């Protein structure tokens, strides 16, 4: 067996290309996954510009989630075996033929899903769980506002909070087509932010208990206005910019919690805790088809540049995937 593999490499000013690189080393708690597919995430684009480097010890190769088949297990791995079909949350390394993954970051692929479909799930589902259910302590019958309702994370957040018993689910999207899609995912009311004011709509309806925001910028003040008393607002990205000027009076008067998280750099123990909760509470719904991956398009392994261009352009509904091994 060769010690080399193909991986997508980013070099300054050049298009993404496949190149031979060393296979990753296998730690005692790791499994080696022969990658079938990898999810494309906006964080990959930020990493490519040099503004989101991988955490210490993580692969420099892009890719925060993948699916595939286990080919080797570390000496201290207890649950997994060679041949298991899995999908995984990664700190990096998904755009490659093989990746080494801590055993606590893996989920078994249900029989009703192909490996290609499964690659759309780990990052979105674990991000949603970590922020809405853990950080914001969502409870049944609460109302939720989810920005970016047709993004990979947004489309999954809608499905998960609906399954968990949300009362009202508002979401924002940038076109009538996207609004229709978001309502098909389970949103009670999709708001076209180019034509309507989400702040006034949600506020006039009584406000949201939980708000998930990846926009930042001017949305932060609007979220504070749209939140209900004792509401929780969580920022996970800042498409409109990370710097804001705030009037904090309503944050205080409403007793709000304004927080933010990232997932990539967390210790493997924390990721394992999140993965275990997702598997227990939501994975049966994936296996039954109640929660499903939403996929915009797939690209061949050597088309990573085009896949990222689609992500950069926007307008997609759901996940964009890289088909590392055709037929997955």
User: Other CB atoms closer than 10 Å to residue 13's CB: what's the count?
Assistant: 4
Using CA atoms in the order 296, 45, 234, 316, what is the torsion angle rounded to 10 degrees?
-20
Number of domains in the chain: 2
pLDDT surpasses 80 at 32: yes
**Residue 66 covered by a domain:** yes
pLDDT of residue 56: 93
Confidence of residue 327 (pLDDT cuts 50, 70, 90): very low
Reported as a single tens digit per residue, the pLDDT across 211-252 is 999 999 999 999 999 999 999 999 999 999 999 999 999 999
pLDDT of residue 12: 85
3-state secondary structure string across 60-123 = CCCCCEEEEEEEEECCCCCCCCCCCEEEEECCCCCCECEEEEEHHHEEECCCCCCHHHHCCCHH
**Strands of the 208-213 sheet, one edge to the other:** 189-192, 169-173, 144-146, 208-213, 227-235, 257-260
Name the average pLDDT for the chain.
Answer: 96
Please check whether residues 217 and 234 belong to one and the same domain. Answer: yes
Please check whether residues 12 and 85 belong to one and the same domain. Answer: yes
Please check whether residues 248 and 275 belong to one and the same domain. Answer: no
**Residue 107 covered by a domain:** yes
Please check whether residues 132 and 237 belong to one and the same domain. Answer: yes
pLDDT surpasses 70 at 62: yes
pLDDT surpasses 90 at 326: no
Once rounded to an integer, what is the mean pLDDT over residues 60-84? Answer: 98
Q: Checking phi first, is residue 317 left (phi over 0); if not, alpha (psi -120 to 50) or beta?
A: beta
Please check whether residues 132 and 113 belong to one and the same domain. Answer: no
Q: Which of 260, 286, 309 is the last residue of a domain?
A: 260
Domain boundaries, position 216:
124-260
pLDDT of residue 328: 37
Rounded Cα distance between 61 and 47, Å, is: 10
Please check whether residues 82 and 101 belong to one and the same domain. Answer: yes
Reported as a single tens digit per residue, the pLDDT across 37-59 is 999 999 999 999 999 999 999 99
Q: Checking phi first, is residue 180 left (phi over 0); if not, alpha (psi -120 to 50) or beta?
A: alpha
- Output Rg (C-alpha) for the chain, integer angstroms: 20
Reported as a single tens digit per residue, the pLDDT across 246-257 is 999 999 999 999
Please check whether residues 31 and 58 belong to one and the same domain. Answer: yes
Report phi then psi at 20, rounded to 5.
-75, 130
Reported as a single tens digit per residue, the pLDDT across 133-157 is 999 999 999 999 999 999 999 999 9
Helix (H) or strand (E) holding 48: helix 42-48
Once rounded to an integer, what is the mean pLDDT over residues 176-184? Answer: 98
Please check whether residues 69 and 114 belong to one and the same domain. Answer: yes
Please check whether residues 210 and 151 belong to one and the same domain. Answer: yes
Reported as a single tens digit per residue, the pLDDT across 76-117 is 999 999 999 999 999 999 999 999 999 999 999 999 999 999
SS3 content of the chain, % helix, strand, coil (to 5): 30, 25, 40
């Amino acid at each position: 067996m060769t010690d080399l593999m193909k991986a997508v490499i980013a070099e300054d000013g050049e298009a993404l290309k496949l190149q031979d690189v060393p296979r990753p080393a296998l730690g005692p708690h790791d499994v080696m996954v022969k990658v079938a597919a990898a999810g494309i995430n906006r964080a990959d684009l930020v990493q490519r510009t040099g503004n989101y480097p991988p955490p210490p010890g993580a692969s420099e190769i892009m890719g925060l989630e993948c699916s595939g088949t286990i080919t080797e297990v570390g000496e201290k791995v207890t649950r997994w075996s060679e041949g298991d079909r899995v999908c995984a949350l990664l700190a990096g390394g998904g755009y490659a033929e093989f990746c080494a993954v801590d055993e606590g970051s893996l989920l078994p692929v249900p029989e009703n899903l192909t490996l290609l479909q499964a690659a759309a799930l780990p990052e979105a589902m674990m991000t949603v769980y970590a922020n809405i259910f853990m950080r914001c302590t969502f409870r049944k019958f609460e109302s939720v506002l989810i920005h970016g309702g047709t993004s990979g994370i947004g489309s999954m957040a809608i499905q998960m909070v609906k399954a968990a018993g949300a009362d009202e689910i508002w979401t924002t999207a940038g076109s009538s087509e996207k609004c229709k899609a978001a309502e098909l995912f389970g949103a009670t009311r999709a708001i076209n932010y180019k034509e309507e004011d989400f702040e006034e709509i949600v506020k006039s309806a009584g406000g949201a208990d939980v708000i998930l925001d990846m926009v930042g910028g001017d949305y932060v003040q609007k979220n504070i206005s749209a939140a209900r008393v004792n509401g929780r607002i969580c920022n996970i990205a800042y498409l409109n910019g990370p710097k804001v000027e705030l009037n904090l009076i309503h944050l205080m008067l409403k007793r709000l919690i304004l927080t933010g998280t990232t997932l990539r750099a967390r210790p493997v123990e924390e990721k394992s805790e999140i993965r275990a909760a997702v598997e227990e509470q939501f994975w049966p719904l994936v296996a039954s088809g109640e929660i499903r991956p939403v996929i915009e398009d797939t690209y061949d392994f050597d088309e990573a540049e085009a896949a990222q261009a689609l992500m950069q352009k926007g307008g997609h509904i759901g996940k964009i995937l890289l088909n590392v091994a055709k037929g997955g």
